[in-house]
Amino acid sequence: MLAGCSSSTDTGSDGAPDDATTTSSLATADPASAPAVPSAGCGTAPGTAVTEERREVAVADPDTGDNRWYLVTTPPAHDGTTPVPLVLDFHGLTEGATVHALHSELSALRRGQRLRGGLPQGTGDPLRWNALPTSAEQNVDGTGDLAYVDAVLDQLENDLCIDTSRVYATGLSNGAGMSSLLACARPDRFAAVAPIAGLRPPLECDAATTTPVLSIHGTIDPILIYNGGVGDLNSLLGGAGIEATPAAVIDGPGYPAAARAWATHNGCAPDPEVTTIGDDVQRWVFDCPSGSDVEFYVVIDGVTPGPVASSAARSPTSPGQPPSPSRPTR
């Protein structure tokens, strides 16, 4: 899993120096060997297993005024005292947490390994994430998605035994944008991110922070076009099917350029080592400082796979194959 990665930063999101409870304190020569950092819930949290249990946080939905909620899954056997990693998995546009749980299948992974997981729920109609720069009003007014994510993390770390040095974010499409934003806006709380089909460049990141990134994108993705732009969402959401996408430039603008931008931001060498997995996947691995890894997987002539267990749970520093390319509408 992503347990080998930790973000590196000089200060927390509030500008104060980081302490031993933040992910950034673990940017060592070998992040995988860094000791766990237990959350407040360790030693007090029950070890009872739950699967996609709904929980609420005291952050109001801007549309309804109701408390916002998320789903949580915990492993079947846990002593409540040993810190375990946490993955937050953000749904795509219109999906919602319940549908995305069926799509990503991460709950099955969490049940089978020492891993806790949360499935946050967006807002609006259609359901979405406001994955905009941190200066945008909807992300700083207390009802925005960043405040909501903070509340989810606070609750999970207080109620469960979490290794706060190994908290990760992944997401699909619009959810990939949200996990990208968290890498910049909350580098003190997330050790690494894995945006799937929607990696944002690190435009909002502080120059002093780095976060490991693994991303996957298909060259015929009909929604978020590989070299930039958005497909015909109205037709897709209306069931009209996939329209032909422009011929992709593998190392061109758009999402491959976003991967290169992350490599530059993280202090990596400019040109990745490119290897081929099977007949239709390229793996780009940038030469980066320890704890600042960047990898980008290109699914040739394929639609981007969702963040299933075989992809989102693998560290950018560890070898292995991404999920098999998929070609249906997502």
pLDDT in tens, 20-53: 333 433 334 466 788 999 999 999 867 778 889 9
136 — pLDDT class (breaks 50, 70, 90): low
pTM of the model: 0.82
Q: Please give the average per-residue pLDDT across 190-198, as a whole number.
A: 97
CA-based nearest residue to 74, from 104, 120, 106: 106
CA-based nearest residue to 100, from 308, 298, 313: 308
244 — pLDDT class (breaks 50, 70, 90): confident
Using one digit for the tens of pLDDT, what is the confidence trace for 209-229? 999 999 999 999 988 999 999
79 — pLDDT class (breaks 50, 70, 90): confident
Point out the least confidently predicted range of 104-113, 220-229, 248-257. 104-113
The pLDDT value recorded for residue 327 is: 30
d(CA 196, CA 51): 23
The letter for the amino acid at 99 is V
d(CA 278, CA 325): 10
The pLDDT value recorded for residue 234 is: 74
243 in Cβ contact with 235 (< 8 Å)? yes
d(CA 70, CA 65): 16
The region that residue 121 occupies, defined by phi over 0 for left and psi between -120 and 50 for alpha, beta otherwise, is beta
Query: 2-312: what fold?
Result: Rossmann fold (3.40.50)
The pLDDT value recorded for residue 242 is: 62
Residues 6 or more apart whose CB falls under 8 angstroms from that of 238 comprise: none
Point out the least confidently predicted range of 67-81, 109-123, 240-254, 311-325. 311-325
Average pLDDT of the chain is: 81
Residues 6 or more apart whose CB falls under 8 angstroms from that of 161 comprise: 38, 39, 41, 42, 43, 45, 78, 80, 81, 82, 83, 84
pLDDT at residue 285 is higher than 50 = yes
Mean pLDDT comparison of 113-117, 149-153, 317-321, 322-326, highest-scoring range: 149-153
43: number of Cβ within 10 Å: 11
d(CA 106, CA 312): 8
The pLDDT value recorded for residue 54 is: 96
Q: 169 — phi, psi (to 5°)?
A: -130, 135
How many residues would you count in the chain?
330
Tokens for 164, please give them.
């706060």
The letter for the amino acid at 72 is V
The pLDDT value recorded for residue 30 is: 61
Q: CB burial class (10 A; 0-12, 13-18, 19+) of residue 189?
A: buried
The pLDDT value recorded for residue 303 is: 84
114 — pLDDT class (breaks 50, 70, 90): low
User: How many alpha carbons lie under 13 Å from residue 180 in its C-beta half-sphere?
Assistant: 29
pLDDT at residue 140 is higher than 60 = no
The letter for the amino acid at 151 is A
Q: 230 — phi, psi (to 5°)?
A: -120, 135
Using one digit for the tens of pLDDT, what is the confidence trace for 48-77? 788 899 999 999 998 899 999 999 998 877
The pLDDT value recorded for residue 319 is: 29
d(CA 65, CA 207): 37
pLDDT at residue 90 is higher than 60 = yes
Helix intervals (H) in the chain:
96-104, 106-112, 145-159, 174-185, 233-237, 255-265, 309-312
In the chain, what are the domain boundaries? 2-312
The letter for the amino acid at 104 is S
The region that residue 313 occupies, defined by phi over 0 for left and psi between -120 and 50 for alpha, beta otherwise, is alpha
Q: Which residue has the higher pLDDT, 109 or 41?
A: 41
pLDDT at residue 279 is higher than 50 = yes
The pLDDT value recorded for residue 77 is: 72
The pLDDT value recorded for residue 296 is: 98
Residues 6 or more apart whose CB falls under 8 angstroms from that of 148 comprise: 57, 59, 68, 120
317 in Cβ contact with 166 (< 8 Å)? no
What percentage of the chain has pLDDT greater than the value 70? 73
134 — pLDDT class (breaks 50, 70, 90): low
4 — pLDDT class (breaks 50, 70, 90): very low
Task: Count each helix (H run) and each strand (E run) in the chain, helices first.
Answer: 7, 10
